[in-house]
Chains A and B, each alone.
Chain A
Amino acid sequence: MQVGLSHRLTQAAIALTAIGLAGFAAPAQADTVRVTVAYYSDQTEPYFKKMAEAFEKANPGSSIKIEMVNWDTLQQKLQTDIAGGTNADLAIIGTRWLLDFVKDDMAEPLEGYMAPSFKGRFIGAFLAPGQIGGKTYGLPIAASARALYYDKTALTKAGFPNGPKTWNDVIAASKKIKADGAYGFGMQGKEIETDIYWYYSLWTNGGDVVGKDGKSAFNSPAGIKAATLYKSMIDQGLTQPGVTNYSREDVQNLFKQGRVKMVISAPFLAKQIKKEAPTLQYGIAPVPAGTGPATYAVTDSMVMFKNSKAKATAWKFLDYLFTKEPRVGFTAGEGFLPTTKEEATAPQFQDPDTKAFVALLPNARFAPTVTGWEDTAKAVSDAMQSVYLGKAKPAEALKAAAVIADQALGK
C-alpha cells in the first residue's frame, strides 16, 4: 500500500504547511488590526486596501491587514479561526449570525466607543438589525432590498409599460409573454435564498415566517396561498421550466439574456445589467403585491471581536469606514443601498434605480434575529422544492417544514 502511505504523507505535509502558516499569522502587534472581509465583487479588495492605506497614513504606527474570504466560505473561516483562537479583530458577518456571536460572547458591544452623535449617522432601519438586547454589536456595512426587475420592451407589449403591480398582473403579463415564446416570471428554486424567493409571495399575501410568539408562522392560509400561486405559475408554464435547477445567479442570468422578462432581485443586478447587457431596457417596480406590499431587506454587519487586543485602533478604523467618503466609495462601488444619512445625499445615489429601491424600505421585512433562522430557511427551501417539483402538496409540505422549524426556532 505504497500509494496510500505517500498519500498520507502528502496530507501530513499539507497539514504541516498549514500549521506553519498559522504560526506566522498568530503573533500580531498591538496596533495591527486584522479585518476579515467578505468578497462582494472585484471592487471589494481594492476598496478595502485603499481604505487601509488611507487610514494608516492618517494614523502613523497602526497597520490594517485585510483578509478576503468568499461569502460561501466566510462562516467556515470564522468558525475555524474562532475555534483556533486566531480570529481577526474586525469581521464582516451576515447579520443573521449576530445572535450566535452575542450568545457566544464573542462580539464587543460598541456603545462604549461611540461618540453620542455616532448612531445618528445611520438610517435607523438599517442599524436596528445590528442591535440585540438594547446594545449595538454590528454596524451595517452593506444593505440591500429587493424589487422586481422587468424587461420594458416585453412588458410594454404585454400591456404593463410601468411593470406589473400585483401578482395577477404578473400572471396576465406572463401569459402574453409566453405566447411570444419567452418565459414570463423568473423563479428561483435552488440554493441560497430559495426560501426568500417564496417569502416575497408569502409576505405580500399577508403571511409571515416567524410569528410574534417566536414560533413558525408560514404554515398558514397565506402560506398555502403563496405556495399555490407559485406552483400554479410553474404548471402554466409562466416561469422558466425546471425551476429547481435555478439558483439566484442562474435566474438573473436568464434575465440578462432576455429569456425571462421579470425577476425579483437586489440593487446590484442593475449594475451587472449595465455592464453585461447594456442594451437591455429594464425597469424596476416594487415586489408584486398580493393583499399588500412587502419586500425583503438585508444587511451585513461589521463586528468587533471581544478578544481583540487592538480595540481602540479597531474602533478608529470602524469610525473612519462609516464616514461619508468611505461609505460612498463602498456603496456605489458594490451597488448596495446607502446605510448612513450623509452618504444617501451623495449624487451617486440620486439615480432612479437607487431611488426606486429606497422607496420600498418602509415596507421592508428584515430577517428576525432569532436562533434557528438558518434551519427554518433550509426547511422552507426544501418544502418549496418539493412543491415546485410536484412531490408534495403545499399544505403538507408547509406542515412538515413547520415541525422542523419549530424544533430549531428560539432554541
Chain B
Amino acid sequence: MPRTVFGRPLTPWLLILPSFALALFIICYPLYNIVFQSAHEVSRFGLIKGFCGLDNFRKVFADPIFIASLWRTLWWTLGVVGGTVLVSVPVALTLNQDFYGRGVARVIVMLPWSVSLTMTAIVWRWAFNDEYGMVNVSLQRLGLISSPVHWLATSTTAFPVMILVGILVSVPFTVTIFLGGLSSVPVDIYEAARIDGASAWFQFRKLTLPLLRPFINMAIVLNVIYVFNSFPIIWVMTQGGPSNSTHILVTYLYERGFRLGKPGEAAAVSLVMLAMLLCFTAIYLKIQPREGSQA
C-alpha cells in the first residue's frame, strides 16, 4: 500500500469516495425530503402548501393515539426482540449439536425467513380467524377450548398474538447469527472444562454465553431496528385496530400519510422514529463493552 507523505494512505480514500458519495446522497436526499415535508403543510396528494414550522410535530404530539402508539411500540420491540433472543439461543445451541437430520431441522427453522413477511402475516391472519382458522379448530379438536376464541377482535389477545408472530419471523435471522457465532467457538475449551468437572449449565454460563455475547449484541441491535420499523404484521392482521388499540408508530404513520392524507404529519412521525432509533443505537454502543466491536 503506497503511503502519502502525510503518512496516511490516500488510495483507499479515493477508492471509497464514489460509493461513499453515492451512499451519502441516497441517505441524505430522502432525509432532506422528510425534514422538508415535516416542516410544511402537504396536501393529500403530495403538493407542498406552505411552511408551517413545527405545527406537524405539535399536532402529532397532541394526539393521544400517537402517545399510546409510542408506548405500544416500545412494548412491541421489547416483546419481539426479547422473545426472539430467548427462543433463538436454545434453538441455535440445539442446531449446533451434531444429530441425525440436523440439515433438515436447520432448513425448517430457516424456512419462515424465505417467505415474504406480508405473506406470513396473511397466513397467520387466516390461521387466527374465529370461525375457520387453524388455531381455533385445532384447539377445539384438542378439547382445550369449547367455543372459538376471538383472537384478533380485541387488543388484549390480538397484540400478544402479533408479538408471537413477530418472534416467529425474527427467529431464523437471529439463529443464523448465533450459529455463525457458535461455529467460531473452539471445541477444545469445552473439553478442558469437562475434564475440570464443569456441569453443562456452568459451561453454558461461563463459556458459551460470554463467547456468544458479541453476536447477541449484534442480534439485539439489528432486530431492534427491524422490529421497531416492522409494518406488515400489524397492518395485515389488525390495521392497528380495533379502535387504534394495536397501533405501533409505523402503522400510525402509514395511516396518517396514506389513509388520512396527511403526509406532513406522517413525515414528522418518521423523524421522531428516526430520533428514537438513533438514541437507542447511541446508548447501546456506549454501554456495550469494547470487545463487541470485533463483531
Contact = CB atoms under 8 A, between A and B. Distances in A.
Contact of B148 (A1, A15, A79, A241): A241
Most buried by B among A101, A240, A242: A242
A39 to B, nearest CB: 16
B154 interface: yes
A80 B266 CA distance: 14
Given A3-B218, A12-B22, A191 B258 contact: no
Contact of B47 (A16, A82, A242, A381): A82
A389 interface: yes
B45 A82 contact: yes
Contact of B151 (A11, A80, A104, A245): A245
A104 B43 contact: yes
A100 interface: yes
Contacts of B27: 8
A57 interface: no
Interface residues of A, number: 48
A399 B225 CA distance: 39
Contact of B153 (A15, A103, A106, A243): A243
A250 B150 CA distance: 14
A378 interface: yes
B130 interface: yes
Interface in B133-162: 148, 150-154
A295 to B, nearest CB: 25
B295 interface: yes
A78 interface: yes
B121 to A, nearest CB: 14
B124 to A, nearest CB: 13
A244 B242 contact: yes
A97 B44 contact: yes
A386 B43 contact: no
Contacts, number: 111
A169 interface: no
Interface in B36-71: 43-47
Nearest to A106: B45
Interface in A277-335: none
B26 A15 contact: yes
Interface in B47-100: 47
B191 interface: no
A259 B132 CA distance: 11
B239 interface: yes
A355 interface: no
B243 A241 contact: no
A25 interface: no
A4 B242 contact: no
A406 to B, nearest CB: 15
Nearest to B293: A1
A79 B46 contact: yes
Contacts of A4: 221-222
A9 B26 CA distance: 10
B222 A374 contact: no
Contacts of B239: 190-191
A381 B260 CA distance: 13
Contacts of A80: 46
A254 B131 contact: yes
A385 B43 contact: no
Contacts of B131: 240, 254, 257, 259
B263 interface: yes
B23 interface: yes
A57 to B, nearest CB: 34
Given A240-B131, A245-B151, A245-B153, A378 B260 contact: yes
Given A97-B44, A104-B47, A243-B153, A385 B258 contact: no
B99 to A, nearest CB: 28
Interface in A361-411: 374-375, 378, 381-383, 385-386, 388-389, 391
Contacts of A254: 131
A189 interface: yes
B208 interface: no
A80 B131 CA distance: 39
Contacts of A385: 241-243
Given A1-B218, A241-B130, A375 B260 contact: yes
Contacts of B47: 82-83, 104, 106
Interface string A1-35: 10110011101100110000000000000000000
A236 interface: no
Interface in B157-203: 177
A389 B243 contact: yes
B232 interface: no
Nearest to B45: A82
Contact of A378 (B129, B221, B238, B259): B259
A16 B150 contact: no
B258 A76 contact: yes
Contacts of B154: 244, 389
A76 B152 CA distance: 26
B153 A389 contact: yes
Nearest to B63: A404
Contacts of A11: 26
Contacts of A257: 131-132
Contact of B242 (A3, A103, A374, A389): A389
B228 to A, nearest CB: 14
Interface of B: 22-23, 26-27, 43-47, 129-132, 148, 150-154, 177, 218, 221-222, 238-239, 241-244, 255, 257-261, 263, 295
27 contacts: A11-B26, A12-B22, A12-B26, A15-B26, A75-B258, A75-B259, A79-B258, A97-B44, A104-B43, A104-B45, A106-B45, A191-B241, A242-B130, A242-B150, A244-B153, A244-B241, A245-B129, A257-B132, A374-B260, A382-B241, A382-B242, A382-B244, A385-B243, A386-B242, A389-B153, A389-B154, A391-B243
Interface of A: 1, 3-4, 7-9, 11-12, 15-16, 75-76, 78-80, 82-83, 97, 100-101, 103-104, 106, 189-191, 240-246, 250, 254, 257, 259, 374-375, 378, 381-383, 385-386, 388-389, 391
The 7 closest A-B pairs by CB, nearest first: A242-B150, A83-B46, A385-B242, A245-B153, A242-B153, A244-B242, A385-B243
Given A12-B22, A375-B260, A381-B241, 7 more contacts: A79-B257, A100-B261, A104-B45, A106-B47, A374-B259, A378-B259, A383-B243
